[in-house]
Structure 1
């Protein structure tokens, strides 16, 4: 299915990487559901920018009821089911190396917050859209991960563990859903310059990334956003269960 014929749900899309992904899909003619949790003003401003191909819908992805209501609203608004999901939502985390808790100060609730945001939230969006995808024998599920799983430049323990869990979900769901024409893949960026979450990242961390990355630059949200178009397009129809690392070559795998 061409991107221009699709309806795309992007979680955490009111700002940062999510907003860049929304712009990329609208540019290619897709309908876009801009999900937000608390940033209503930013979500509405983005939809005003994008025009009638986008709608903003509030939902906490950790809530099954919220997600199912959002999916129903989106389907009704565009009069067609959701064909592509981009699980991008980030819950209560900022990439601040100075404030990152060391191992001895972490609590299980720190990990649980990130597991629920990454794994539980993605589980809810996929389940809410699964019946329609199976009926259409077409679906594209794109989970946003991180290269910190492979190369923890900073030990963001709880965040990275949540994304590692999401990678496991990606591969297991890909195994089961492939027979239904549904692909499930992950895109793992590095620290991006610049999002709300990375605004507190120190210059020293970005300098390390630039010095050790073949492209000698920090990846931007727009650069990563365009890669989501590949996984939603006809060109990726034979690709599933993959983790594509988009970080300028810092992690080669």
Structure 2
């Protein structure tokens, strides 16, 4: 008996050397580690920054043929679209991997955090704009190019803090939990088009600009609870981001991979 049902074509899987990677907030901290890792792997990298122009240009100077620094506030939808167009014009091909890394106006300072009785709607709204609305707008900005290519990788940066709140940063963890939900629903929508959507979640990393205000006692507490007895570094998390952009992850989508030395299980 014949049927009209056909198996979907095997999706393409571009090696990193043939890709253009956009890293939001890619000039400092974890973003810089991710940008450097992709550049060292031979990819072309768009280093997005908002105010860290010098840091972005310093990175480009290390890889002048493969990196470009472009300013854009990720909360501005039109600026995101302009950045993507500029990147495509610069490299002559669309962005194929987007890393939603930018963290807007947040510091992991446990002494200064807002507690349950003090957390405000304004704080929650500010983090929602930077950690949910901005990643969605960035995804929408790169989708036309990914569809043109028939390939795409979207990697959202999450956190293990909503599963194991060593320090309860209410606004930050709530928005990252929402981003995980969108990671899974977007994966379902975009999977048929050869676009994989995943999340990489670290904990407090040792050390980034955002975690520089974290007391050493907190880092020591985290390290003592991990099987590796140490705190994850930005470079270690960047390794996993590269995995999700590479052909090795072609069968993986809608997942959240926690990279925290084994602190959080599952």
TM superposition score category, shorter chain reference: over 0.9
Q: How much has 1:50 moved relative to structure 2?
A: 2.6
**Alignment pair present for 1:132 and 2:142:** no
Q: Measure, in 2, the Cα distance between the counterparts of 1:132 and 1:76.
A: 12
Q: Measure, in 1, the Cα distance between the counterparts of 2:151 and 2:116.
A: 43
Deviation sequence 1:20-66 (CA, Å, 0-9, x none): 00011011111000000111111111111232200000001111100
Q: Is the 8 A contact 1:9 1:34 kept in 2?
A: yes
User: 2:179 is matched with which residue?
Assistant: 166
User: 1:120 is matched with which residue?
Assistant: 133
**TM-score, length of structure 1 as denominator length:** 0.99
Selected match of 2:196 from 151, 160, 183? 183
Q: Measure, in 2, the Cα distance between the counterparts of 1:31 and 1:135.
A: 18
User: 1:244 is matched with which residue?
Assistant: 257
User: 1:197 is matched with which residue?
Assistant: 210
Q: How much has 1:104 moved relative to structure 2?
A: 1.5
User: 1:155 is matched with which residue?
Assistant: 168
For 1:218-229, list aligned pairs within 5 A.
218-229=231-242
User: 2:124 is matched with which residue?
Assistant: 111
Q: How much has 1:156 moved relative to structure 2?
A: 0.4
For 1:1-253, list aligned pairs within 5 A.
1-253=14-266
Q: Measure, in 2, the Cα distance between the counterparts of 1:149 and 1:141.
A: 21
Count of aligned pairs: 253
Deviates more, 1:236-245 or 1:130-139: 130-139
Unaligned runs of 5+ in 2: 1-13
Q: Measure, in 2, the Cα distance between the counterparts of 1:51 and 1:103.
A: 47
Q: Measure, in 2, the Cα distance between the counterparts of 1:82 and 1:104.
A: 43
User: 2:7 is matched with which residue?
Assistant: none
Q: Measure, in 1, the Cα distance between the counterparts of 2:257 and 2:71.
A: 29
Q: Is the 8 A contact 2:94 2:149 kept in 1?
A: no
Higher helix share: 1
Deviation sequence 1:113-138 (CA, Å, 0-9, x none): 11111111111111011112122221
User: 2:5 is matched with which residue?
Assistant: none
Report the aligned-residue RMSD.
Answer: 0.7
**TM-score, length of structure 2 as denominator length:** 0.94
